[in-house]
Amino acid sequence: MNMSNHIASSSEDQRAPGNADAQSSDRSAWMSILAKADPGELSRAWDSLDDKPKWRWLRKPETGLVMVRGRAGGTGAAFNLGEMTVTRCAVVTESGDGDGGFTGQGYLAGRDRRHAELAALFDALLQDSSRRPALEDTLLKPLADGLTARRRSASAKSAATKVDFFTLVRGED
């Protein structure tokens, strides 16, 4: 089953011609946020959802490997650095009127099956244009802000260790 076709046929936004790239880049962005999010926060967001959809597994969580590649010298020929554990799964939600719902996928680093499940569920919900605006405000934005805050905190700590080895030899005037 080709899931991207399924998504295309079930998403209202896809009716606008030439919108497929924008759609997949939006989806890529939110899937990336869901993958990097704290699973505890996803769990709390799911628990606090009033209208949880019915859903079923399309593919139960499975842990495997992705080979991580680097480039010689950072810019040269690609090479295999080593593998990382990755967990993936796929769910299908049902819409309220019993029609076909949305296929959500979770792909993320590590072996946390529950995290993959929650990422897939929210991926499905975010494809539902009736749910997305609310989820963007209540879920994606706080998650993205959290990731930014984490980066800024690390950046501030490192910035405090910025060094100029040559200050001592400078004259006063």
Partner 1 sequence: MYVAVKGGEAAINEAHKLLAEERRGDPSVSELSVDQIDEQLSLAVDRVMTEGSLYDRKLAALAIKQARGDLIEAIFLIRAYRTTLPRFGSSSPVDTAAMGIRRRISATFKDIPGGQILGPTFDYTHRLLDFKLAAEGDGGHGNSLDEDAGSIDEKVLLDEAMPRVVDLLKHEGLIEDERPGDDDDDVGDLTREPMSFPVERDIRLQNLARGDEGFLLALGYSTQRGYGRSHPFAGEIRLGEVAVEFTPEDLGFPIEIGELTLTECQMVNQFKGSAEAPPQFTRGYGLSFGHCERKVIAMALVDRALKGRALGETVEGPAQDEEFVMEHSDNIQATGFVEHLKLPHYVDFQSELELVRKMRRKMARADADNANNEIVEAAE
Quick one: 90 or 121, whose CB is closer to partner 1? 90
CB of 95 to partner 1, least distance (A): 22
Q: Is 167 in the site for partner 1 (CB under 8 A)?
A: no
Among the listed residues 15, 18, 25, 173, the single contact to partner 1 using CB under 8 A = 25
Q: What is the residue whose two structure tokens read 């072996």?
A: 111
Measuring CA to CA, which residue among 132, 131, 103, 108 is closest to residue 119? 108
Question: How many Å apart are CA 116 and CA 39, to the nearest integer?
Answer: 9
Among the listed residues 12, 22, 57, 64, the single contact to partner 1 using CB under 8 A = 64
Spell out the residues 6+ positions from residue 82 whose beta carbon is closer than 8 angstroms to its own.
67, 68
Q: Is 73 in the site for partner 1 (CB under 8 A)?
A: yes
| Structural tokens at position 151 | 């980066």
- CB 35 within 8 Å of CB 86: no
Quick one: 28 or 52, whose CB is closer to partner 1? 28
Largest CA distance in the chain: 79
| Structural tokens at position 60 | 């139960």
CB of 150 to partner 1, least distance (A): 9
Q: Is 88 in the site for partner 1 (CB under 8 A)?
A: yes
Q: Which chain residues interact with partner 1 by CB under 8 A?
A: 2-4, 24-25, 27-28, 31-32, 35-36, 62-86, 88, 90, 105, 107-111, 149, 151-166
